[in-house]
Chains A and B, each alone.
Chain A
Amino acid sequence: MHRPHLARFVLLLCGSLSACSDDTAEKAPAATQAPRTASVAPDLVDEARERGLDYVNVCGEPEKRTILEANGAGVAVLDLGGDGDLDLVFAQGLASLADLTKGPGADVEVFVNSGDGHFTRGKGPGLAGWWTGFASGDVDGDGDEDLVVGGFGALRVLVQNAKGELEVGADLLGDAGLDRLEPGQAREKGHPPRWTSSLALFDADRDGKLDLYVGNYLELDPVAPTVGQVGEGAVALPCRWKGYDVYCGPQGLVAQRDRLYRGGGDGSFVDATDTWYPAQVPGYTLGVTTFDADQDGDDDLYVSNDSMPNNLLINDGHGVFTDHALTAGVALSQDGVAQAGMGVAFGDVDRNGQFDLAVANFSGEPTELYLAAERGFNRATYRIGLAKETKALLKWSLQFVDFDGDGQLELFEANGHTYPQADREGTGTSYGQAASLWHLDLGTKLRAVAPQSERSILAPKLGARGSAIGDFDGDLAPDLVLVRIDGPAALGMNRMGPDAHRLAVRCLGPDADAATPNGPRTPADGRGARVIVVPKPAAKTTEFALLASAHTAVGYQSASAAWLYFGLGASTDYESIRVLWPSGRVETLGPGKGDRALTIREGRGIVAEAAKR
């Protein structure tokens, strides 16, 4: 949030569906450029400290006696203040489980972008809790982005006001009794609160109002947590891993039901779980993402569960979901075993016009890569060598991003073990783990991107959890913010593919008077729009198309920017941009110049265009 740069956001009033050329945009003042590091090596360089991002995560005690203290926090990337740059909101926990009952609780932490990727602390909404994850979207249809934040015993709407600040809105556990937990209030044992992990805002019933999927984890009693063993007497099972005593869970603890809320379009939500997800088998949910898995025009859900089968929830077009994960081949491991599903990501990895999936798992299990096929998904995990690369790691947030701008998605993975005992002898793994990045050339084995310096976010062997994507310095190259557990956040500024041409696209729903009167509607923030970009073939390059979808719930407990980032490779221009709106309308724009940030409104084409800085 900062004062708008006129050169960056020039409203185009041509109203045409074809891209308009705009000389003003090409003359963006150099003064707005972010200072670059001396290094030009292709890397994601952690510049958190010099850019003013001083968030430090707090997540219980270092011994990690309970599972709550191991799961860490997420982050949201969104535009506060409508100034066109991307700001950050971090979830925050407490120093110990005892602090939940002792108080005070933590607020979420806001960092405001000055416009060039430097941050200052902003005013928080004044919450008090142990916060875990975010969903972002325009929940009240007023044109700006809002948040829903989940926590241990809390689920709140955070509405962005006219000043670009977050205000506490609806309490979605308002009548949930002991499912709520207020830090500082006395609590008796035997009442585990509702524990939200990952969330997603999307339009389940295609009415143009955002609905909410809330992934819930498990029943942990904050007053008398299960420690040492689950069960009683001779039939108890010790909480042990590789011969070492560790915290208990998830197995042996009770999984909580996920929830689906119908959005009222005004920031209110009503629990519709029973009607929209009637055949739910509760899992230990950790990851949620939304995309059109069956290509029927509505958004489906993929839910990853810890040590339980994952869910592929197919939407019937009216918001009623049925799980097809088993027959689609995305529920279990290759051997039919439920894995410890963590973060999830989707993207068109093989550029065949269908969305593929990646699922992070526990150490000893691979990160799974599922490629969409004619029937369900085909597992590519082993064929490309992803199992070997990931088996020793404990994986959390995942992102499919074209960091180097060559038109091929890379896979980013936040790693870090849950058990401090991982550093002890004979575990085959370690507590601190470096983040990973791979080029995915599906014809061959994947290629790891090596850190180019110790400042790379891929270098330090620390523990990471949430991550989110956004272009913080306006160079159109997607950057990455990484939430590390019990430590400072990293801000990976993208120095990959410096010569590549790029395009950033933001989709918006139609003007109120242009919305389709009957039938499906596109939400105000364009949520669910699918965008196909065809770069203009450059010399000696093959033609390809890039598919992305306007969703922010990717990774783990985090919300990425609403912008879609396309790499055009050597192509300076794009041939066409095709937008498939949730309303059913299809618009084709172009040709046009690359290295632009384009805002496309349904029915009006490109309404704003800014050049790369």
Chain B
Amino acid sequence: MKLLALALLLFGQGAELDRARAVAALREDLELDSPREALVRSSPWTAKDGAFEHDGEVLALTARALAATGEDARARKLLEQATPTDATKSWIELERARLALENDDLEAAARALAGEKGAAVRYPDIAECWLLRGRALARQQKFADAAPLFRRFLELAPFSVDAPAACHQLAQAALARADDAEAQKWFTRAAELGTWQGFYRARRIQIREHPDDPLPRVGLAQLFLEAHDYARAEALLTELTATTPTFASGWFLLGEARRKQRDLDGASKAYTQALDLDPELPFARFNRAVIARMQGRDVDARADLERIVGGPAADDERLLKAHLELARLLVRAGDAEAANTRYRRYTELGGKDPLAEPTR
């Protein structure tokens, strides 16, 4: 019995994983303006007895792809005839509201997305519901009503492809109430997120074009790191270093993703892999040294730091602290003269921190 339960559990997890992958693939197709690819992909899934025949989200995304190819009538028909599971039927309702919005039927869309008994939205757990209802209201110039919905959307989906839009709508809402400072803040955030999304889109296209080239994936990982989404960066880089183990930059960034998640051993190992492939990666060496110091491995740290300050990156201001850290190690080792020499170089390069180690 236990075995059967475990098998069911594993099967369930596998199916859920497949479903997540299917939804992600469809969403990416749509985000990258490839609705025809989405339709090719979803066709067997949504066919009779297909894997996602009753999955409301997959059906909704398929309908969206149909609409994007000019097949509005087929999109509507698909949504009308859909028999989604209870767990996923909300997506069908959302997609109907989206179609209403696309057809400038703003009041119908807002109504369909409104919650019962005064609740802001009908499906509060779905970020898109907040966005769509906010959009329906904003398009009617009801910015004051729309603003809280966009804020909630941003809380639920801060890095959604629609996040810049939500920020922009909040800026417009601020302008409508003559709060120019608040508007500027949201305009700036919208621009930042928009730039990030632009790169994100470009990297994904490049990965599709060059699936075996590590460069676009490294770029994508960097974007995740910039967005503080370290777990996604680590997953991507783990996959990358498995398929392209000789790509030093991939190992370095994997070290970064692990370090940001406080996995110091894992980070140190990744830096070591990077340095084995390319000993002239000064940032990998410096970060490995810092971890070694934190772990009390002063000898290892000193070796790395001495190599940096004796190498071509010695005067790189981004590695200024290599001089300071080495100076402090030398103090601990009792070599005051060498420590002072190193600290002098640190200050010559613009360093301002004291030689004495801060009390921890």
Contacts and interface: CB of A to CB of B under 8 A. Distances in A.
Q: Do A and B come from one complex?
A: yes
A382 interface: yes
Nearest to A378: B141
A428 B70 contact: yes
Interface stretch (A22-30, A208-216, A385-393, A539-547): A385-393
Interface in B325-354: none
Contact of A427 (B70, B138, B183): B70
A413 to B, nearest CB: 16
B102 interface: yes
Interface in A386-416: 386-388, 391-392
A425 interface: yes
B221 interface: no
A243 B139 contact: no
A388 B164 CA distance: 23
Interface stretch (A60-68, A143-151, A230-238): A230-238
Contacts of A335: 135, 162, 164-165, 168-169
A242 B165 contact: no
Contact of A234 (B71, B135, B141, B213): B213
A425 B37 CA distance: 12
Given A337-B165, A383-B139, A426-B70, A329 B106 contact: no
Contacts of B71: 428
B202 interface: yes
Contacts, number: 100
A217 B178 CA distance: 35
B165 A426 contact: no
Given A238-B209, A383-B106, A392-B70, A425 B178 contact: no
Contacts of A516: none
Interface stretch (B14-22, B28-36, B234-242, B295-303): B28-36
Nearest to B206: A235
Interface string B67-78: 111110000000
A386 B102 CA distance: 11
A340 to B, nearest CB: 13
A237 B180 CA distance: 37
A375 B178 contact: yes
Interface in B135-159: 135, 138-141
A332 interface: yes
B305 interface: no
A387 B194 CA distance: 23
A427 B34 CA distance: 10
Interface string A366-394: 00000000011011011111111001100
Nearest to B187: A326
Contacts of B205: 237-238
Interface in A521-571: none
A327 B180 contact: yes
Nearest to B36: A426
Nearest to B141: A378
B216 A234 contact: yes
A332 B168 contact: yes
Contacts of B183: 327
Nearest to A380: B141
B190 interface: yes
Nearest to B170: A336
Q: Which of A335, A378, A379 has the most CB of B within 10 A?
A: A335
A242 B165 CA distance: 22
14 contacts: A234-B209, A234-B213, A237-B206, A242-B36, A327-B180, A327-B183, A334-B172, A335-B135, A336-B167, A336-B168, A382-B139, A384-B104, A388-B102, A428-B67
A235 B70 CA distance: 31
Nearest to B165: A335
| A-B complex: 3 closest residue pairs judged by Cβ atoms | A336-B168, A428-B70, A335-B165
A429 interface: yes
A383 B169 contact: no
Interface string A327-359: 101001011110000000000000000000000
Interface in A419-438: 425-429
Contact of A426 (B35, B175, B202): B35
B320 interface: no
Interface string A297-329: 000000000000000000000000000001101
B141 A383 contact: yes
Given A237-B202, A382-B106, A385-B104, A336 B169 contact: yes
